[in-house]
Structure 1
Amino acid sequence: MWRQLLEDGRSAFAEHWPHSLLVPVAVSLGGALLCWKLHGQKIKSIELGEGWWGSGEKPVSHGEDPRVRPFIIEASEADIEDLHRRLDATRFFSPLEDARFLYGFHSSHLRTVISYWRNKYDWKKQVKTLNKYPHFKTTIEGLDIHFIHVKPSHLSPGQKVYPLLMVHGWPGSFYEFYHILPLLTDSGNHGLNTDIVFEVICPSIPGYGFSDAPSKTGFNAFAAARIFYKLMLRLGFNEFYLQGGDWGSRITTILSQMKPESVKGLHLNFVMLPTGGLGRLKSLLIGQYMPWLVGLTREDVRRLYPYMEKNVFRIVRETGYLHIQATKPDTIGSALNDSPAGLAAYILEKFSTWTDNSFRDLEDGGLDRKFSLDDLLTNVMIYWITGSIASSMRFYKENFTRNYNRTPDTKIGVYVPTGIAAFPCELAHAPRVWAKQKFHNIVSYTYMPRGGHFAAFEEPELLARDIQNFVFKVEKM
């Protein structure tokens, strides 16, 4: 019926309105009718569920402690001495003369990194930087959940503040957001929109950094989404915005499918989509020659093709780690948890090629083109000090199960307002027309001018502006 109404409306306008107004009016009418079609329909959601991830059986005698406790990161002399001893004992191997980062982290550059880490990097100084934002812990489903909660320092009278939950991925941490936090919480002093100000909550995924690791198998993105929803409720937020990349993208997307009534908007800088089947194949085959027929833009074509080289081959080349972590994470975890040099090589190699694929051709991996070595090593130190590399990698095994493409989140759409920031050097490009198959209410889709996988770390201002613009549009709806 709604389609017939749309056609009747188009015919009526064609008779009485100038041709130049037909397109915008038709689009507006179509949007209104779509809203009318969805109005009154109960949007399907994922069941929230319940879980217990602490050691032993769930206590039945008393409820969970709801307190939110302040937490301070400490730098102990014993930890520093142990790190230095292990760095001094690093066994390097001979590099290939022309390998660059084509074989992984180039061993000659690893000597440079380890030398800086051992002789110049100041963990105590970096801990002071980490503690400049308020840290907290609270117990949810048997786990101590770590998070930072940053509120605006200055507000104009009557100014509205928007709660924003930002979730990191692997091999990142809450520290990825340290450069974007002042832009979001104190936008007026950084040249951004002063009307859109956030208070930001950045939790550590359980098993990452200072959040407890689950003691039981099965902890996946659904469990993480539920725990973070409970965290937001505990902090007093019944409605909030979400932002995520990497695993944070899947966790926040699932949360928006679990509790759409609580999620005011979902902003992503990495889009995880189902395989797409024959429809995706058709889009690819036609899109290279007649992109307009399948809804692809010129920019989509530039980023997608040649498809095998830019997408398939790159994904195969960059996901060997994924197969290991999705099958036997504890084996490689044993080595990385014991060797700081090995841990640094394993993690920092991702910050090279995932930032820009062309960095594979550089002997230093281009690491200093987007990051400081202090920032990179601080992220590594969060894994090292907490001994969380193995537990963080288990998250892959728990999520990449046999029925990965048949999980509840693949069976229903996402209907909350969604914003997508498409960075050109991301691991894979998701055109808007593909994203619309899952995200049915895309409010903004931005082709970002530069940047890769670690958007908040690489291009904090670009990402902050896009988040602001997205929220501004949602609030005007």
Structure 2
Amino acid sequence: MWSQLLDNGRSAFSYHWPHSLLLPAAVGLGGALMYWRLHGQKIKSIELGEGWWGPGEKPHTHGEDTSVRPFTIEASADDIEDLHRRLDGTRFFPPLEDSKFHYGFNSKQLKTVISYWRNEFDWNKQVKILNKYPHFKTTIEGLEVHFIHVKPLHLTPGQKVHPLLMVHGWPGSFYEFYRILPLLTEPGNYGLDPNIVFEVICPSIPGYGFSEAPSKKGFSAFAAARIFYKLMLRFGFNEFYLQGGDWGSRITGLLSQMKPESVKGLHLNFMILPNGGLGRLISLLIGPYAPWLVGLTREDVKRLYPYMEKNVFRILQETGYLHIQATKPDTIGSALNDSPAGLAAYILEKFSTWTDNSFRDLEDGGLDRKFSLDDLLTNVMIYWITGSIASSMRFYKEYFTRGYNSTPDTKIGVYVPTGIAAFPCEMAHAPRVWAKQKFRNIVSFSYMPRGGHFAAFEEPELLGRDIQNFVSKVEKM
């Protein structure tokens, strides 16, 4: 998921001219989006396109079933029996002395996790928690798309409700948002602004969890963005807000470029940026000595430098998975789909070092610092019982098959109002001045005091407040 960071590393050693050297004067006067709206001009957008991802040919005899059907997650006794049998047969290997999480998931700690999963974890209980929000499925482009739809329960007369689409990433799921959903839909009960209330839709990306996996090659973030746009239209939402991290940021960003007239605002806690070219190189070289000359703040300098250590080397340490999944995902997928212990190690390792890089120095990977084992294993179970790990990893293959800098979205910017929450323990830091190269109408940019990659799961209150703050600013524009 970290291709833009690799681009940053490459740009430090090579020269590439940026796509655009001048921004419209309207950017500095209040945002290009508002300027073009006021002057009746159309913002550049990328084509919405069309697709069919179900098995076989697209049927021409009748239209697609557009009904929205209630869905309930069920705990199957057969699934649990099969899981326990496989866990009982786990083959462990001896751990290295004092290896902690430097070699990946500590095999000693894995025994603890597997023991808990086998003997204490209650899937039936977790299924009840999963089902506390309404689940649905609907057919879009030949795929059964799963989502949860959460509405506020208590509204004052005439109170405005903002539709919000929240999209997860890998190796997460819709369950990442369970901690933040009550804060967004019932904010007054949790100390947040009671006047900014959301109606939230959280879909599962096709190929993830309970959304059907595409049967054909080529299902990319473009297709996911289009499908989620169609999903919002099925509820009559012609205008809505977007929020995403990881793949969710890529998908929501593309949707903002496909249908800018429908997106009231885009909030991100992770960014995929184009190659910064010569400007990025100059910024990196001058930044430590005269940051104000290149638009960097003191906090930017603190998070960026030493650049090789905090960004390039860390990316190299953390992206082995990316190269595998971007080339031959089905190979590793075969192993992970067969072994629950392997699947847990593969996924939970990311919830360790992506939450905080310093957790690699802990014997238990710091997993209990921000999460409970019940929460972590519930996310793993969503992949396990649906057999979706291989199809989820194919998303990387589709991304790198096309190559980021050759896709149509790189030819234009994102002009919808954008809010960015920069969490300090994210894989790498992208300053506002770099983000402006792609996101031309940044309304808010927040240096979050703590938190890492899984923001909604780790710090729901911080993220919830930042989303509210961003929407409040947009509504006043």
Cα deviation, residue 29, structure 1: 11
The one-letter code sitting in structure 2 at the alignment partner of 1:380 is: V
Question: 1:2-401 residue pairs with structure 2 within 5 A?
Answer: 31=29, 36=35, 39-401=39-401
> Counterpart in 1 of 2:450?
450
- How far apart in 2 are the matches of 1:208 and 1:36? 39
Cα deviation, residue 163, structure 1: 0.3
Cα deviation, residue 37, structure 1: 7.2
Q: Deviations over 1:187-215 (max 9, x none)?
A: 01111001100010000000000000000
Cα deviation, residue 404, structure 1: 2.2
CA contact (8 A) 2:185 2:200 kept: yes
CA contact (8 A) 2:27 2:441 kept: no
Larger Rg: 1
Q: Deviations over 1:15-40 (max 9, x none)?
A: xxxxxxxxxxxx99951696657734
The DSSP-based 3-state class of the residue aligned with 1:90 is coil
> Counterpart in 2 of 1:22?
none
Cα deviation, residue 406, structure 1: 1.4
- How far apart in 1 are the matches of 2:322 and 2:315? 10
CA contact (8 A) 2:204 2:211 kept: yes
Aligned length: 451
For structure 2, the 5+ residue unaligned runs are: 1-24
The DSSP-based 3-state class of the residue aligned with 1:427 is coil
Distance of aligned partners of 1:329 and 1:28 in 2 relative to their CA distance in 1, 3 Å threshold: closer
The one-letter code sitting in structure 2 at the alignment partner of 1:328 is: K
The DSSP-based 3-state class of the residue aligned with 1:169 is coil
The DSSP-based 3-state class of the residue aligned with 2:352 is helix
Instruction: Give identity over the alignment, percent.
Output: 85
The one-letter code sitting in structure 1 at the alignment partner of 2:107 is: S
Distance of aligned partners of 1:222 and 1:29 in 2 relative to their CA distance in 1, 3 Å threshold: closer
Cα deviation, residue 278, structure 1: 1.5
The DSSP-based 3-state class of the residue aligned with 2:58 is coil
Q: Deviations over 1:140-189 (max 9, x none)?
A: 00000000000001000110000000000000000000000000000011
Cα deviation, residue 137, structure 1: 0.1
Cα deviation, residue 428, structure 1: 1.2
1:476 equivalenced with 2:476 (yes/no): yes
The DSSP-based 3-state class of the residue aligned with 1:198 is strand
Tell me which stretches of 4 or more aligned residues in structure 1 moved more than 6 Å. Answer: none
The DSSP-based 3-state class of the residue aligned with 2:401 is coil
Cα deviation, residue 234, structure 1: 0.6
CA contact (8 A) 2:221 2:254 kept: yes
The DSSP-based 3-state class of the residue aligned with 1:222 is helix
Distance of aligned partners of 1:182 and 1:33 in 2 relative to their CA distance in 1, 3 Å threshold: closer
> Counterpart in 2 of 1:420?
420
CA contact (8 A) 2:36 2:43 kept: no
The DSSP-based 3-state class of the residue aligned with 2:70 is strand
Cα deviation, residue 403, structure 1: 3.2
- How far apart in 2 are the matches of 1:134 and 1:222? 27
> Counterpart in 2 of 1:7?
none
- How far apart in 2 are the matches of 1:252 and 1:317? 27
- How far apart in 1 are the matches of 2:442 and 2:386? 38
CA contact (8 A) 2:207 2:214 kept: yes
The DSSP-based 3-state class of the residue aligned with 1:265 is strand
For structure 1, the 5+ residue unaligned runs are: 1-26
CA contact (8 A) 2:53 2:214 kept: yes
- How far apart in 2 are the matches of 1:190 and 1:248? 25
- How far apart in 2 are the matches of 1:29 and 1:109? 51
CA contact (8 A) 2:31 2:441 kept: no
- How far apart in 2 are the matches of 1:217 and 1:431? 35
- How far apart in 1 are the matches of 2:220 and 2:35? 36
The one-letter code sitting in structure 1 at the alignment partner of 2:349 is: E
Greater relative contact order (Cα < 8 A, sep 6+): 2
The DSSP-based 3-state class of the residue aligned with 1:111 is helix
> Counterpart in 1 of 2:19?
none
Cα deviation, residue 409, structure 1: 1.2
- How far apart in 2 are the matches of 1:203 and 1:157? 29
Cα deviation, residue 400, structure 1: 1.2
**TM-score, with normalisation over the residues of structure 2?**
0.93
- How far apart in 2 are the matches of 1:331 and 1:452? 29
The DSSP-based 3-state class of the residue aligned with 1:241 is strand
> Counterpart in 2 of 1:21?
none
- How far apart in 2 are the matches of 1:32 and 1:378? 44
The one-letter code sitting in structure 2 at the alignment partner of 1:130 is: L
> Counterpart in 2 of 1:10?
none
Distance of aligned partners of 1:33 and 1:196 in 2 relative to their CA distance in 1, 3 Å threshold: closer
Cα deviation, residue 380, structure 1: 0.1
More off after superposition, 448-457 vs 408-417: 408-417
The one-letter code sitting in structure 1 at the alignment partner of 2:272 is: M
Q: Deviations over 1:313-347 (max 9, x none)?
A: 00111000000000000000000000000000000
The DSSP-based 3-state class of the residue aligned with 1:201 is strand
> Counterpart in 2 of 1:15?
none
- How far apart in 1 are the matches of 2:275 and 2:424? 21
The DSSP-based 3-state class of the residue aligned with 1:400 is helix
The one-letter code sitting in structure 2 at the alignment partner of 1:167 is: V
CA contact (8 A) 2:206 2:214 kept: yes
The one-letter code sitting in structure 2 at the alignment partner of 1:148 is: I
Distance of aligned partners of 1:32 and 1:202 in 2 relative to their CA distance in 1, 3 Å threshold: closer
> Counterpart in 1 of 2:8?
none
Cα deviation, residue 41, structure 1: 3.2
> Counterpart in 2 of 1:11?
none
- How far apart in 2 are the matches of 1:433 and 1:29? 13
- How far apart in 1 are the matches of 2:298 and 2:71? 49
- How far apart in 1 are the matches of 2:257 and 2:228? 13
Distance of aligned partners of 1:358 and 1:30 in 2 relative to their CA distance in 1, 3 Å threshold: closer
Cα deviation, residue 235, structure 1: 1.3
- How far apart in 2 are the matches of 1:450 and 1:30? 30
- How far apart in 1 are the matches of 2:177 and 2:357? 22
> Counterpart in 2 of 1:408?
408
More off after superposition, 269-278 vs 51-60: 269-278
The DSSP-based 3-state class of the residue aligned with 1:401 is helix
- How far apart in 2 are the matches of 1:36 and 1:229? 24
